[in-house]
A and B are shown apart, each in its own frame.
Chain A
Amino acid sequence: MESISEQLPSIFNVAAYFLNNNLEQGNHQKIAFVHGDDTYTYDQLSCFVQRTARSLLSLGLERENRIAILLPDTPELVFTFWGAVWIGAVPVPINTACNLEEVQYILQDSRAKILLTTQEWQEKLAPIESQFLQHILLKDGDNTFLSLLDRQLDKPIPCAKTSKDEPAFWLYTSGSTGKPKGVIHLHQSMVVCAEHYAKATLNLQPNDITYSVAKVPFAYGLGNTLYMPMAVGATTVLSDASNAFDIISDIQRYRPTVFFGIPSIYANILAVHDISPLDASSVRLCVSAAEQLPESIWQKWRETYDREICEGIGTTEFLHIFLANRLGECKPGTSGRPVPGYDVRVVDENGLPCPPGEIGDLLVSGESLMLGYWNRLRETRQALYGNTMKTGDKYLCDADGYFKFMGRKDDLFKVNGQWVSPLEIEDILHQHPQVLEVAVVPESDRGEQLTQVVAYVSLKPGQKPSSELETSIYKFAKQRLPHFKAPKIIYFVEHLPRTSTGKIHRKLVGSSQNLAESFYISEVKNTK
């Protein structure tokens, strides 16, 4: 596979590249995206992006300055992302599901000069403690961002002469320390993913309509919604769906041809089939990423809707998917085979390739790899060497070349497509008045089910396991954590296994067989 990067000129602006390509190919009146009842053509998109660029310049946003965008998937997000890239500034989309503390941290850490958000978020964030922030723009209220754009002239504005190797945007990803990390991507990165995955792997076409469950601030959503459809002149749906019923209704309404889902949403759509059956007739391609898709869901989806799910896996650091199943060649329960342009290897502790079927560390090389984590030299150096990244995932590669996820090297895991640190949950459960020790682990019945949060709990002297106590711990967690992080199952044990240094041995805790042999496990089990 030829290098995509080498084919790009050294002076390269990715916003101008995608927008101008569409106009040069005659896509002026082609619909770029749909939002609610509104549609925007590529001509309109280009016009709004340039108005945004002009507005941001007039507010003093300069090249390399960051602009934070804390919005749901809306036209304003799209215009501002591309408008900032157009002038060489750096957009930082922020997930609206972040909590206040995370958003405050990202605003401070990114040193964003401008924040575009909603009135509701502005009120929640007040006062914003960032000495770098100079302007807050609002999507709603008396003086909306769109009204600011309406006051701009439709006069072309030249794009910044950026380098293809220059930072174009940042995405924040959860870190094991609890503080999100700013992942820096370059102007060339999106082109690499679009060429290798959207075109060469998915065969995305100009007549496709894409629909993504993951929102734009996620690397998966950014590709599905923002730049992959643009790379081929397709149409995308900007959706405000928040659960499976909304998504089913959206699919009925917008008739997408490519559905980018996540495992929990596939499971939920199947679960509500008797209540609200999905009309999947428009969908030619179903994709899943963000966490491992259980084979049982894959099979049930095919039985119900007569469609395969092309599961893949990627990371924020690589911007999008690097292992993928292809239509007609899917092997359920695996992440698929390498996407063209990526070298994916499973290696042992000495860095030597593992034979087929043997578990090792997943190493990935590819041109879409991040520049690094912002202000996190140690983590960057630990993760990268050359254009290779140690993902922290444990994988095996079978004799047919399909890669299968076997767990994490660290203690992190994913639920509902989002990273979960057991430490955060354990910290909360420790505060329960009757809990002495706790260890939180993921359980997925060896990949057969969606990952669930499981807590192993030992009690303070004099306390006895009971279903009332279990309910009390369960409620305690739900009142203090995002609900998807609350344990689904609680096991009471007499003691928790420890390492030789006295730390709780979480890997051994995860092995219930070992626990059952060595420790008393209460029969109390939350089946909710």
Chain B
Amino acid sequence: MDNSKAMDTLKAILIDLGIPKESLHQDALLQEDLQLDSTEIVEIALGLKRRLGVSVKLEGRQDMTLDQVCHKVEAAISVHSNSNHAS
């Protein structure tokens, strides 16, 4: 998957959560900039699972940018596809 698909999906999830589209920059931090709370971050992970089939643990101790979340998505997909090839 390319980064743009992960980013588009992430932005769609955030828009569904009521976050204004204009604040969704790739460098925007989930907690500090978008003011997401713990339940909303869980909802992002559930949305990624539902829409892309990937399991991404979005731990909250270190705030993450949208770009960093997308990297996590790509890494999770890569691990998943490698394990499928291996089996």
- A residues with CB within 8 A of B: 240-246, 249, 264-265, 268, 271-272, 274-276, 416, 471, 474-475, 477-479, 482-484, 486, 528
Contacts and interface: CB of A to CB of B under 8 A. Distances in A.
A242 B63 CA distance: 10
A110 B60 CA distance: 32
25 contacts: A241-B61, A243-B38, A243-B58, A244-B42, A245-B59, A249-B59, A271-B42, A271-B46, A272-B45, A272-B46, A274-B49, A274-B55, A275-B46, A275-B49, A275-B56, A275-B57, A416-B39, A474-B18, A475-B19, A478-B17, A478-B18, A479-B20, A482-B35, A483-B35, A484-B37
B36 interface: yes
Contacts of B27: none
Contacts of B59: 243, 245-246, 249
Given A241-B61, A243-B58, A245-B57, A484 B18 contact: no
Contacts of B19: 475, 478
B16 interface: yes
Contacts of A275: 45-46, 49, 55-57
B49 A268 contact: no
Given A241-B61, A275-B57, A471 B41 contact: no
A272 B61 contact: no
B35 A245 contact: no
Given A264-B39, A271-B46, A475-B18, A240 B56 contact: no
Nearest to B35: A483
A37 to B, nearest CB: 14
Given A271-B46, A471-B18, A478-B18, A241 B36 contact: no
A482 B16 CA distance: 17
Contacts of A528: 16-18
A281 to B, nearest CB: 19
B33 interface: no
Contact of A241 (B40, B45, B60): B60
A475 B20 contact: yes
Interface string B5-36: 00000000000111110000000000100011
Nearest to B76: A275
Given A274-B49, A275-B45, A475-B18, A268 B55 contact: no
Contacts of A243: 38-39, 41-42, 58-60
Interface size band for B: 20 to 34
A486 B18 CA distance: 9
Contacts of B60: 241-243, 245-246
Contacts of A240: 61
Nearest to A242: B60
Contacts of A276: 55, 57
Contact of B39 (A241, A274, A477, A484): A484
B36 A483 contact: yes
B55 A483 contact: no
A246 B31 CA distance: 14
A474 B58 CA distance: 24
Contacts of A471: 18
Contacts of B61: 240-242, 246
A359 to B, nearest CB: 30
B56 A483 contact: no
Q: Which are the 9 A-B pairs with shortest beta-carbon distances?
A: A242-B60, A243-B38, A243-B60, A275-B55, A478-B18, A474-B18, A245-B59, A268-B42, A483-B37
Given A240-B61, A249-B57, A416-B37, 9 more contacts: A241-B60, A242-B61, A243-B38, A243-B42, A243-B60, A245-B41, A246-B60, A268-B38, A528-B17
Contact of B38 (A244, A249, A478, A479): A244
Contact of B40 (A272, A477, A483): A483
A272 B46 CA distance: 7
Contacts of A241: 60-61
Contacts of B55: 274-276
Contacts of A482: 35, 37
Contacts of A474: 18
Contacts of B31: 242
A245 B18 contact: no
Contacts of B16: 528
Greatest chain A CB density within 10 A among B18, B20, B39, B56 is at B18
Contacts of A246: 59-61
Contacts of A271: 42, 46
A478 B20 CA distance: 9
Contacts of B37: 416, 482-484
Nearest to B49: A275
A275 B37 CA distance: 19
Nearest to A528: B16
Greatest chain B CB density within 10 A among A272, A483, A486 is at A483
A264 B43 CA distance: 12
